[in-house]
Amino acid sequence: MLRRAAFFSNLLFENEMRDQVMERHGIAERDIVGLLAHLGADCPGAISCVPEGAPPGKRPGCLDVDYEILDGAPEISEAVPANDFGIATLPVEGALARIMASLRDHRRLPHDSDDPSPLAGVQGKVALAVLPNGRLGFPKSGSGAPTTHVLKVPSRASALASVALEHFATRLMARALQHPVTQTRVLGEGSLQGLLVTRFDRYVTEGQVHRVHQEDFCQALGFGHTLKYERNGDEGRAFTAAAIGRLLRATRVPGLARQAFFEITLANMVLGNSDNHAKNHALLYRAAKPDLAPAYDIDPVLLDAGVIHEMSFRIGQARMADDVGHGDLDDFMVALGARGFVKAQQTRLAGIVQTLAQAAGGLPRPIGKGLCDAILQQAHHLSESLELGLDVPEFDAVPVSRAECR
């Protein structure tokens, strides 16, 4: 029963948007069924939670008839912008600007709007679809049609640079890995910006949008969202490397999933993303056994002074990225189900670190300067502790918070 409750609770909001739904409808915080009655018609993946006797909340969507074009949305081109990091912004106006402003200022959609696809997470988000003409749109009411993208808008209190920095980090990880990485674009400019993210739990074929079932690692492990960090759990019930290893062994090709998770973890360390918790990894069900989902939510929190920089799960005995040594990586790989940290993986690690360090120099200035320095700092620490012998350029000091690290 506990695992079942955790599975469904992970389909719901974690933030003030969830509180707003509770207040509007008089629902208790632990009333998961009550919340799903209002938010469950279009959960992440292919799950639909609707009242008994109601029609299915989800159906494939026909791009030509099941969506309404959103006024003020720019045309989204599939072509990669000329700028190497794609920071060229797309201006927004009209209804889209109003939605983005409400997400920025109030963490919800405007009062006269209904979110057609509620999303779990701790940011202001709205789900949209990119139509054949490149315009953004919402599914028509009652259509049950899926969305194809998520638009994340930071709050006014957050640094506007967070949009560009997550975009940069995502593009950098895509350069360094062979495993798929989610695609991102920056929408808006000035004080109104958002990150448009392609959904990996959707696919389009012959003009129709289909859903693919996915489970984040919290769901797959039967953990509530409060256990998404190892430090919040207890022995036998925590987001540890051993727990991750159990999930990877259940995938369609465990060896590939294990290597991909290792590379994602190391790339996150270099990119300063210590917030790669259990809800930021997922399994994607396209066959009887799942695959490891593309890497997503790559946020360089090392640049945030008010955030604990302890890793979401230990690498061996190390809790901080700059403490990781060869023995820690060996223990980590054994916990994941491999023989250990072998020579081929050390060579691959050196290649990832070198690729990211070299690419960081091309980040646009001034906005990319801090991320560049953070990457070079992390690359320096790993090269020294693992004796990689890399020639890492000089960098400015990047503060690391060890507060509350236990």
In the β-sheet with 149-153, what is the strand arrangement from edge to edge?
67-69, 136-139, 124-130, 149-153, 192-198, 184-189
- Following DSSP, what letter does each residue of 13-47 receive, concatenated? --SHHHHHHHHHHT--TT-HHHHHHHHGGG-STT-
Together in a domain, 198 and 235:
no
Together in a domain, 278 and 305:
yes
In a domain, 21, yes or no: no
Domain boundary among 204, 225, 254: 204
Taking 60 as the threshold, does the pLDDT of residue 405 lie above it? no
Helix, strand and coil in the chain, % to nearest 5 = 35, 15, 50
Taking 60 as the threshold, does the pLDDT of residue 226 lie above it? yes
CATH of the domain at 310: 1.10.1070
Within 8 A by CB and 6+ apart from 235, the residues are none
- The pLDDT tens digits of the residues spanning 100-146 come to 998 888 877 777 665 555 554 446 788 899 999 889 999 988 788 88
Together in a domain, 321 and 378:
yes
Within 8 A by CB and 6+ apart from 65, the residues are none
Per-residue pLDDT, averaged over 285-312, amounts to 92
Alpha helices in 272-368 (DSSP H): 326-336, 343-360
Per-residue pLDDT, averaged over 51-64, amounts to 76
**How many domains does the chain fold into?**
2
In a domain, 35, yes or no: no
Q: Which residue has the higher pLDDT, 80 or 366?
A: 366
Using alpha carbons, select from 401, 396, 400, 321 the residue that is nearest to residue 365. 396
Together in a domain, 233 and 353:
yes
Domain that holds residue 169: 58-204
Together in a domain, 182 and 63:
yes
With pLDDT > 70 as the criterion, what percentage of the chain qualifies? 79
In a domain, 153, yes or no: yes
In a domain, 346, yes or no: yes
Domain boundary among 149, 180, 204: 204
Q: Specify whether the CB–CB gap between 216 and 279 falls below 8 A.
A: yes
Angle at 387 between CA 243 and CA 379, to 5 degrees: 70
User: What confidence score (pLDDT) does residue 122 get?
Assistant: 47
Q: Specify whether the CB–CB gap between 171 and 163 falls below 8 A.
A: no
Q: Which residues pair with 187 in a beta bridge?
A: 90, 194
Q: Which residue has the higher pLDDT, 45 or 285?
A: 285
Cα-only R_g, the chain: 21
- Following DSSP, what letter does each residue of 194-245 receive, concatenated? EEEEE-SSEEEETTEEEE-EEEEHHHHHT--GGGSSGGGSBTTBS--HHHHH
In a domain, 38, yes or no: no
* Interatomic CA distance for residues 171 and 182, integer angstroms: 9
- The pLDDT tens digits of the residues spanning 63-88 come to 999 999 988 888 887 655 545 576 66
Domain boundary among 170, 204, 238: 204
* Interatomic CA distance for residues 318 and 324, integer angstroms: 5
pTM: 0.87
Together in a domain, 312 and 379:
yes
* Interatomic CA distance for residues 95 and 364, integer angstroms: 30
In a domain, 271, yes or no: yes
Together in a domain, 299 and 276:
yes
Q: Specify whether the CB–CB gap between 287 and 219 falls below 8 A.
A: no
Together in a domain, 226 and 196:
no
* Interatomic CA distance for residues 36 and 42, integer angstroms: 10
Together in a domain, 191 and 226:
no
User: What confidence score (pLDDT) does residue 289 get?
Assistant: 96
Together in a domain, 183 and 318:
no
In a domain, 1, yes or no: no
Using alpha carbons, select from 336, 266, 268 the residue that is nearest to residue 297. 268
In a domain, 312, yes or no: yes
Question: Helix axis angle, 254-270 relative to 326-336, nearest 10°?
Answer: 140
Q: Quick count: other Cβ atoms within 10 Å of Cβ 18?
A: 18
Within 8 A by CB and 6+ apart from 257, the residues are 248, 251, 291, 292
Together in a domain, 185 and 289:
no
Exposed e or buried b per residue across 323-354, where buried means at least 16 C-beta atoms within 10 angstroms of its C-beta: bbbeebbbbbbbbbbbeebeeebeebbbebbb
* Interatomic CA distance for residues 191 and 181, integer angstroms: 27
Together in a domain, 133 and 161:
yes
